Amino acid sequence: MLATAEELKDKPKGFFTKPATGIAGYEYRIQISPYDCTGCTNCINVCPAKEKALVMVPLEEQIEKEATNWDYSQKLPETTATIKSVNVKNSQFKKPLFEFSLACAGCGETPYLKLATQLFGDRMIIANATGCSSIYGGSSPTCPFTVNDKGHGPAWANSLFEDNAEFGYGIKLAYNARANSIQNAMENLFNLGISEELKEAMRRWIDGKNDTEASKSAAVEVLSLIDENIEKTTGGTKELLEYIKSRKDALVKKSIWIVGGDGWAYDIGYNGVDHVLASGEDVNILVLDTEVYSNTGGQSSKSTPTGAIAKFAATGKRTKKKDLARLAMTYGYVYVAQVSLGADMNQVVKAMTEAEAYKGPSLIVAYSPCINHGINMTKSNAEMKKAVESGYWQLFRYNPDLVGTEVNPFSLDSKEPTEDYQAFLMGEVRYASLAKQNPDAAKVLFKQNEDEAKDRRNFYKSLV
């Protein structure tokens, strides 16, 4: 949180803050909810400071004091600091509009959703495929998605494996139609004697309706002027002004996100994903890739790599992982990124902001460690880093906006592997168990797994 000294004048004893680095006049604090901490320790493990900002202590020692601090922090207004650039540090000063989910402690998926809501949450619409993300995202009687001080937050709905991409696509088309109907109403008003000031505001909205900041500023101005003029008009003019006002939620450009796991995107819902990417529409697809059907008990999917044990692949999967990102890049007009939060947080922020800004379809494939991998979930972020450092997972971005410029549209963001690939595999039960059950098969399949990863990396290097 960021707050001024004036805002903090009534803070409880023990609500310690420190001056915010690079933001003059503001104090900074990390506040934990003692009621909702799952004890996964990931926050401590990822803290880059030599002297950790957070430490684990017994709950009974802290709950009374920190409950008071938490309740106080929730009454503070959202920060009024001017934060211009978007980077990892600045993104975390924004209120997360995804909080207290029912996901497993240390889940590798939820940090991506939290970050997305900090970047775009006040105008975000999420179409969520059935799976883990639909369970922790919308289990009755609670929902982890919330609103900011203005009452704005993500709108969320769930659809099935087989049609979630089309569901999100339909939401985008519906908003296109609503925005076009508003534009038609405005253009009709130009001939009905409204003030020049209101005409100019409406022209600015029409010109900028597909741009986030332009639509936001124009929407505020249009609504203010409608309120000033609506009682001074009659007949058809008044009806059109009321029509626009009644559809004010469609004035700000929406950030449409189609979200789901690899079972949906690589497998059961792939037809829909491919159809939506091919459509050219401005939607964003976020694939939370656990390399297995997580929610239904760990079945093998087309994202499961060679040699991994899963249900329906009890002796190790015999075919290689589908390269969804590579397939999407063949279109040429789809923004594509592959990310891993624990490996490079800055690259994830870049990928999300570039994808959202791109006026066309985007696909982000996010590496998401899962309890089904058989790892220590208190160090899931460290597992993300190991996956990249060993060469198991590559980081890259392909931005079609750069095609035809002097800048290569493809950026390979991960470095040459520095860690032992086979040691990474043996650190996860989904691989290590095969080595115990059938060492000869494991030796062959794990070498095949490593060779396939090298082939993927060599392909991506060739694009550089």
Over residues 327-352, the pLDDT tens digits come to 999 999 999 999 999 999 999 999 99
**In-domain check, residue 222:** yes
The answer to the question of residue 139 being in a domain is no
Say which CATH number the domain at 42 has: 3.30.70.20
Distance CA 252, CA 220 (A): 9
What pLDDT, on the 0 to 100 scale, is given for residue 102? 87
What is the pLDDT averaged over residues 248-259? Answer: 97
Asked whether residue 239 falls in the same domain as residue 257, the answer is: no
Last residue of some domain: 221, 250, 279? Answer: 250
| Residue 80, pLDDT score | 84
Asked whether residue 368 falls in the same domain as residue 291, the answer is yes
Residue 329 shares a structural domain with residue 452: yes
The answer to the question of residue 91 being in a domain is no
Say if residue 394 is in the same domain as residue 260. Answer: yes
Q: What average pLDDT does range 129-152 have in this prediction?
A: 91
Q: What is the pLDDT of residue 271?
A: 96
* Same domain membership, residue 306 and residue 200: no
Residue 90 lies in a domain: no
Q: Is residue 89 part of a domain?
A: no
Where is pLDDT greater, at 21 or 157?
157
**pLDDT at site 12:** 93
pLDDT at 265: 97
101 falls within a domain = no
Confidence of residue 354 (pLDDT cuts 50, 70, 90): very high
* pLDDT at residue 144 greater than cutoff 90: yes
220 shares its domain with 272: no
Band of the pLDDT at 151, cuts 50, 70, 90? Answer: very high
| Domain of residue 245, residue span | 170-250
Verify that 1 and 19 share a domain, yes or no. yes
Helix axes 345-357, 110-120, angle to 10 degrees: 50
Q: How many CB atoms lie within 10 A of CB 158?
A: 19
Average of pLDDT values for 143-150? Answer: 93
The verdict on 246 and 266 lying in the same domain is: no
Local confidence band at 163 (pLDDT 50, 70, 90 cut-offs): very high
Where a domain ends, among 33, 58, 82?
A: 82
What pLDDT does residue 140 have? 75
User: Is residue 159 a part of any domain in this protein?
Assistant: no
Kindly report the three-state secondary structure assignment for every residue of the chain: CEECCCCCCCCCCCCCCEECCCCCCCEECCCCCCCCCCCCCHHHHHCCCCCCCCCCCCHHHHHHHHHHHHHHHHHCCCCCCCCCCCCHHHHCCCCCCECCCCCCCCCCCHHHHHHHHHHHHHHEEEEEECCHHHHHHHCCCCCCECCCCCCCCCEEEEECHHHHHHHHHHHHHHHHHHHHHHHHHHHHHCCCCCCHHHHHHHHHHHHHCCCHHHHHHHHHHHHHHHHHHHHHCCHHHHHHHHHHHHCHHHCCCCEEEEEEEHHHHHHHCHHHHHHHHHHCCCCEEEEEECCCECCCCCECCCCCCCCCCEECECCCCCCCCCCHHHHHHCCCCCEEEEECCCCCHHHHHHHHHHHHHCCCCEEEEEECCCHHHCCCHHHHHHHHHHHHHCCCCCCEEECHHHCCCCCCCEEECCCCCCCCHHHHHHCCHHHHHHHHHCHHHHHHHHHHHHHHHHHHHHHHHHHC
Q: Is 60 a member of any domain? A: yes
Number of compact structural domains in the chain: 3
Residues 258 and 322 in one domain: yes
For 73-131, write each residue's pLDDT tens digit: 999 999 888 887 889 999 999 999 999 998 999 999 999 999 999 999 999 999 999 99
Q: What is the pLDDT of residue 175?
A: 96
Could you tell me if 399 and 321 lie in one domain?
yes
384: amino acid identity, one letter:
M
> Can you give the pLDDT at residue 345?
96
What is the per-residue pLDDT across 225-248, written as a single tens digit (0 to 9) for each? 999 888 888 899 999 999 999 999
pLDDT, position 53: 82
- At which of 82, 111, 139 does a domain end? 82
Question: Per-residue confidence at 395, pLDDT binned at 50, 70, 90?
Answer: very high
Same domain (yes/no): 279, 416: yes
> Per-residue confidence at 262, pLDDT binned at 50, 70, 90?
very high
Q: What's the mean pLDDT when you consider all of the chain? A: 94
Q: Are residues 209 and 283 in the same domain?
A: no
CATH number of the CATH domain containing 386 = 3.40.50.970
* pLDDT tens, position by position, 408-432: 999 999 999 999 999 999 999 999 9
